[in-house]
Amino acid sequence: MTAFPPVPAKPASALATPRHLERFLCLDDFEAVARRRLPRQIYGYYSGAAETNRSLRANRESYAALALLPRVLVDTRARSTAASLFRTSFSLPVGIAPMGLSALSSFRGDIVLARAAAAEDALMVASATSLTPLETMAATGGARWFQAYLPGDRARIAAMLRRVGAAGFETIVLTADVQVPANRENNARSGFSMPLRPTPRLFWDGALHPRWSLGTFLRTLARGMPHFENMDAFRGPAILSRSAERNIGTRDGLCWEHVAFMRDHWKGRLVIKGILSPADVALARAAGIDGVWLSNHGGRQLDSAIAPLLMLPEARREAGQMAVLIDGGVRRGTDVLKALALGADFVFVGRPFLYASVAAGTSGVRHALRLVRAEIARDMAMLGVNTLGELSPAHIRHFAPAAP
């Protein structure tokens, strides 16, 4: 684990909570507001997973099966939540994961997330399935990490690398676990599709949620019909269409040969997201990859895929000098500390930050980041550590939770 340098604490005035956000005490508190305000199709897309939601549940359960072993009588007044990743310092070891269609959560939702992260000195990864051009996110949101879905086609990969590089992004995150569309039955049942089909059900549900319809959807349409902007080097289909299909080619043909091609043609940092097997971690290390991101896509792809946390110790051993990132099921500061203790260099959270943008826009996401940072700082004191680099497997014990 890297030893993270301490940073001065922010003055209390800088951390004062706006009155309209005082009711949000933890990340889970934002979801209830999002459920009320979003149309059923949109909320279902964000919250749902594949088939039985087994992997979605397993992600949370994997953290619940771990206990923390604190040390006492340790002077922790100098503790710091500062974290460093690829020689860049952040105020906390938690980043905002890439999330598709964020611009349907709040007006210009992609920019909301990026600006909130920048304001809190946090890391945000721009999504390939965003409705905001990646150039706009880089210019107005300060995003420097871009997540890519790429086909097994060298010409199209090369064109996308040129576009991402020209926009000023420093890190590409290749998502490798979406070889084919997942079986998301919840989307079919709610009537959700990508692109959205203009059906009576969609318009009726929008009418039942006027705050979202007026403040997000119609306000977005007033700027022009949004498109899938970043799935390829050229503009994709419109978000609202009766017949268009979202298509970026044959992702099931993407393989390690294409990773080698990317490594040869991309001079920035390259991270592979969606890895779970230690064997794939070893292949990534052999390919000269800068980091591996353990993820089962939030349970949204292969149902019954193992929880990333369960594979973290093995992945750490195989990774060597590569950075090891992780997501899936993280909701508390204690979850973050568990992942760091088992070898993660950085932790990512998705849905709760999206729900925070629904609840209160940029201020909501900033508040969510502050809540996590405050939890980590408080938990560090009770655990008996001053820096994140002090965490190790010695702070972890495995146990089976008692039956209710």
The answer to whether residue 97 is domain-embedded is yes
Quote the pLDDT of residue 116: 97
Tens digits of per-residue pLDDT, 72-115?
A: 999 999 999 999 999 999 999 999 999 999 999 999 999 999 99
Confidence of residue 317 (pLDDT cuts 50, 70, 90): very high
The answer to whether residue 258 is domain-embedded is yes
Which residues are the active-site residues?
297
Residue 126, pLDDT > 80, answer yes
Quote the pLDDT of residue 6: 45
% of the chain at pLDDT higher than 70: 93
- pTM for the model: 0.93
Residue 255 structure tokens: 């393989």
Work out whether strand 66-68 and strand 396-398 pair parallel, antiparallel, or are unpaired: antiparallel
SS3 67: strand
The answer to whether residue 219 is domain-embedded is no
Domain CATH number, residue 167:
3.20.20.70
Q: Kindly state the average pLDDT of the residues 25-52.
A: 96
Q: Kindly state the average pLDDT of the residues 227-248.
A: 76
Mapping DSSP onto H, E and C, the string for 126-165 reads: ECCCCCCCHHHHHHHHCCCEEEECCCCCHHHHHHHHHHHH
Tens digits of per-residue pLDDT, 39-67?
A: 999 999 999 999 999 999 999 999 999 99
Quote the pLDDT of residue 403: 53
Tens digits of per-residue pLDDT, 248-257?
A: 567 899 999 9
Q: Give the separation between CA 390 and CA 80, rounded to whole angstroms.
A: 11
The answer to whether residue 63 is domain-embedded is yes
The answer to whether residue 222 is domain-embedded is no
* Domain around 303: 23-185+254-398
The answer to whether residue 119 is domain-embedded is yes
The answer to whether residue 267 is domain-embedded is yes
Q: Kindly state the average pLDDT of the residues 221-249.
A: 79
The answer to whether residue 121 is domain-embedded is yes
The region, left, alpha or beta by phi > 0 then psi within -120 to 50, assigned to residue 246 is: beta
Q: Taking a C-beta distance cutoff of 8 angstroms, is the pair 123, 142 a contact?
A: no
Residue 375 structure tokens: 């939890």
In the chain the first and final C-alpha atoms are separated, in Å, by: 36
The candidate with the shortest Cα–Cα distance to 396, out of 81, 69, 153, is 69
Q: Which letter does DSSP use for residue 27 in this model? A: T
Q: Taking a C-beta distance cutoff of 8 angstroms, is the pair 303, 52 a contact?
A: yes
Q: How many domains does the chain have?
A: 1
